[in-house]
Structure 1
Amino acid sequence: MKKIRLNKKQQYWLLQIVGWLSIVFVETINYTFFIVRQFVWEYVFQFCLLAVSGLVASHLYKTLFIKPTTFEKSLSKIWGKALLDTFFITLIMVCTFFIPYIFYSPEFFSTTDFLIQFFGQMMNIARYVVVWIIIYYLYHILDRNRIISQQKLIVENLAKTSELELLKSQLNPHFLFNALNSIKALVLIDAEKAREAIIKLSELLRFTLNYEKTPLIRLSDEIDEVVKYLELEKIRFGDRLDVHIDLQEETLDAKVPPAMILTFAENAIKHGITQLPDGGIIEIKSTANSHSLKVEVCNTGELNENETKGIGLKNSSRRLQTLFGEKAELLLKAKSPNKVSVSIIYPLKYSNHE
């Protein structure tokens, strides 16, 4: 058997009709068995009029005066408005109830009985309006909390995913094994250089473990870590690795995402230098104009199509756009038949982080 599923609008109208018609049933039972102790059609007609006026008044009031932004405020403001809404909806219904008297008994409005009946009806009808307000407001408050919880879960999942991707973009474990093996061999040849290499390796590891705590660092600080990494790799590659760093002086204090250039340098070693029997060259350049900063890492080698689809590249691109906006770019291309270039370009003026 196929289940019938109602959308939110259909659910709303179903609850509206059933809810207000239940007043007719409850009041008819109350008057028939406990107040007047007999069935009177006139009372049923009045209860039907009350239900119709309640349905129309509550819907119009909801449409005109209860906006979705109401439920984005604090709970005290939400329930304060709920109290006012109860009063005004009740007032509209009571005024509707007394409209017929304008035509067949206008003098009734100048009597004391009118005031007694008016406030009596206010108290009586307010009972039902309060129920409507509580149900309607609670539904939206709970729905709002559900949306916030879902958004929180999405953000937490994105954070975990980003954290995993950042961990993936940290130094390759193979580098650590190679560096330690190189240092072990260096100990037998030059103990002083081996000691310096151990210091550089420890400083580099400390940097890669702590860099996510700071969204941006100075370019000069980032390059210091890149130099340590490349010097450690040079122990392994020797003359097969040649490094050229050319930084425009005006760019040294510019802010860059930590470990991003370090990741590019590692990729240059992994996908470029290690694939070439004769080794190659790694070049790091930085330039700036009045509007933007460009940092480029070039290495000897050929561009592999898989590199353009890697997680690390997508993660770096997302980091750039998160920090510097949509104008930030990450470009990976073959600069010549035997040279690959990756560059980041982003505006020097931005508002995401200072």
Structure 2
Amino acid sequence: MESRVLLRTFCLILGLGAVWGLGVDPSLQIDVLTELELGESTTGVRQVSGLHNGTKAFLFQDIPRSIKASTATAEQCFQKLRNKHEFTILVTLKQTPLNSGVILSIHHLDHRYLELESSGHRNEVRLHYRTGSHRPHTEVFPYILADDKWHKLSLAISASHLTLHIDCNKIYERVVEKPSTDLPIGTTFWLGQRNNAHGYFKGIMQDVQLLVMPQGFIAQCPDLNRTCPTCNDFHGLVQKIMELQDILAKTSAKLSRAEQRMNRLDQCYCERTCTMKGTTYREFESWTDGCKNCTCLNGTIQCETLICPSPDCPLRSALAYVDGKCCKECRYHDS
């Protein structure tokens, strides 16, 4: 029984994952370029041709700029991301060689809660974040991204599991300390730079998105449809197993107590009686009812017809019924 319940729970988790993989719910999507309302009037960026013509692409120029979400817009985005343990960063980009720039940065004062950076000097991609224990942490992925070529980048986080895809190829997969998305009020959301003076990204960006869902890279690379449960799925399954174990333990305890009570009842002597014609008889008590001998056995009346003797009658007599008697008696014939 327990194994069947666990199997159903696991299949439910996988089924939900398959539904997520079929499309992107708008309530789980943050389209960064759209939310920041970039356009020709935005200082420091210019709309250019992208990898495809389906969405807008912007060239981030090497001039002073301040591209960040307004306080209201940032809070709307953070409401989707706050305290979530599964999310994916997606971006299509072409970065200037040797440029070291920040793709996006979510930070509060000096605390970087989520910052994705590409270093053309060291040829590596860096993820800066704060852990669940509120400590700063950086994951470094050696890779040449700043080569003036188009790349699709996806960084998926599922609890403590991190996966980096570039151009629809899985490049790195690691187990890391789980990031914290407990974003305080006043957190800022920057694009293409860390702040007004540092981390300027140089190049073109298109389709910059945050998806609050596991394995969001399938939105960028549909051919990589998910087939396995995520780390967070397993965390959920473990939690369900623990809950089921608790229920099983409580049920077993109740069953044990019920069995003990039943055993005590079996040991209790309860005298059984029989009632016939308004008279109550105790167990094994016998009585005569008309021409039957009756006995109370195990609460049930059992009766047997009287066995009559067959006497040898004297001469001039024969067996005959007598009123009020059950058996025949010898009676003399009248002369």
Task: Please report the TM-score for the alignment, with normalisation by the length of structure 1.
Answer: 0.24
Task: Please report the TM-score for the alignment, with normalisation by the length of structure 2.
Answer: 0.25
The structure that has the greater radius of gyration is 2
Q: Higher relative contact order by CA 8 Å / sep ≥ 6: 1 or 2?
A: 2
**Which structure features the higher share of strand residues?**
2
**Which structure features the higher share of helix residues?**
1
